[in-house]
Structure formats: C-alpha cells, structure tokens
Structure 1
Amino acid sequence: MQALYPFNVRVYGILVTEQGEILISDEQEYGKRFSKFPGGGLEYGEGLRDALRREYMEECLVEVEVLDHIYTTDFYEHSYFNDSQIISVYYRVRNKMPFNLTFKTCAFDFDETEGDVFQAFRLIKLEDIKIEDLTFKTDRIALEEFFKQEKHFIK
C-alpha cells in the first residue's frame, strides 16, 4: 500500500577534523552528480542518531560520536530522486577512530569507472568551504547554521 504522504527522513553529519577540515561526500547516482554531507535515510525502527552512526560506518567506514543538533528542515523540499518530501536532520559528529579513506582534492574524482552509483570524499578547510560547494539547499542552510553556532563547537 502506497503512503498517502510519502515522507523521506534523512540524517546527516557535519564532521570537522582536528586539522580544521570539513568532510564532504561527492556522489553520482544514475547520472546525477551532487556534493553533500555524509549521511542518508532513516530506516524503519531506527532512531536518528543510530541511523547517522550506521550511515557513517557504511559510507565512510568510520565510527562516529553524534554530538549536537545543527538543523532540521523547516521548509518544503521535494526529493531530487523520487516523489517524496525530504525532511533532513543535521548533527555535528566526531570520528572516534582514524579514517581509512582516500581523500580526493577535486570534486567528483571517482575511482570507479563502471556502474550507476559512485562516491568520493574530500576534506575542505573550514575557511575555504563555500556554500556553492554543496548541491542541496538543506546542506547549504545546515552549513550556514553550523557557522553561526561554530563558536560553541570549535575549540
């Protein structure tokens, strides 16, 4: 049975390394390219923080500590991929172990050459990141909110 009101709840983590770099995921799915914060969809029966820890382990192969809430979508946003309404929740996260990833310096520098889904990660210095580095409106607003709250987060 199809839901009358198809909502898609997403959870994302804003991670800043000890070197003052913010983690960005560059992705391509079925011909659509986008840059965003790591994270993804909430699964049925899962809490937001548990979903975010799972998403970071699946995508980044790293265990994270979920810290402060940054932002929750407060406007209508239609999905980029299907006919659902997106509700996104953003948290500040900290890696609990070293990364075991290869970081790229250019956007969309994928190692894969075949398939429908590609992903690569970049670290961008906090002072160098621009709103335009992110594709989606919610990520852009979350970054702005992060910077407004930064004095409380960055030590």
Structure 2
Amino acid sequence: MSAEGARLIVFSVAGRSHALVLQQAAEVLEGMPTHPVPGVPSFLDEAVNVRGRIVPVLDLAPFMGLGPRTAGGTIIVLDRQVAELALRVGGGVSILPSDRVSGADESDQPVIERYLLTARERVALLAVERLVELVEEKLSNSMWRINGQDSDDRG
C-alpha cells in the first residue's frame, strides 16, 4: 500500500518515530489489557481481545532489534485485510497528512519502506506487508513447540 497522498498514523518505537498508512490500521487501543500466550516465541507472547476476536500482539521494539519490550504503550490493531495482528508501540499516536511530508530517503532496513521527511522529524514508514511476512517466516522457522517445551526464540 503506497503512502502517496495517504494520511499516516505516526507512533514511537524505542523512542524513534515510525508510521504506517492509516488505512492499514483498524483501531488504536490505549490502556487495553493483554493476556499472556504461553508456549510461543517471545515476540508474539501476548494477545488482546478486540470485540470478541483474539488478536496476537507483536511488540515492535524487540522484534525490530531496537530495544527491550515496550512497557504499557499503545496497541495498533491492523486492518483484517492486512493481517490478524496488533502492534505494540510506545506512547500515543498522531495523524500525519501527506502534505506535511517534504521528501523521502531510501531505506536498507527490511521492514522500513522508506524514511519520510517532515519539518520536524524523519519518520520511518513501515513496510507492513514485509513485517507480516517476517513474522510468518520466524514462526515457521523457529524452534518453538506448541506444548510449551523450550524454544530457541524465547526471551
């Protein structure tokens, strides 16, 4: 999904500004309790109840190698067309209209589509589809077991 002409939802991951196209998000949850999911890789070991649907929560900071787990924070539930997944991010969110983006830089990071330049900051635009692919790859390649026996991916 292209960011051209689209509004973006901006949030923090380990103190750095990130964004995704607003249409990729179904809703933003603040202060919503999550529930532990035992026996799965640590990057996906909690879930949230979203109107009766149990949705796994991915903590972006450790998954992207940017820092430790996010305490508290905000949960962005992705649109079901994108994935049955929610993202834990730091702090609140804001909306960035596309006309506030003055330029862009290329990215060599696998889950960053590009860096958007605004008057105030440089914002990493997530490649959400690639992020979901990486989560699926890690799940299929990891050494975890559904019965909770040890895993190389627990942290």
Q: Which has the higher contact order (CA 8 A, sep 6+)?
A: 1
Per the normalisation by structure 1, the TM-score is 0.28
Per the normalisation by structure 2, the TM-score is 0.28
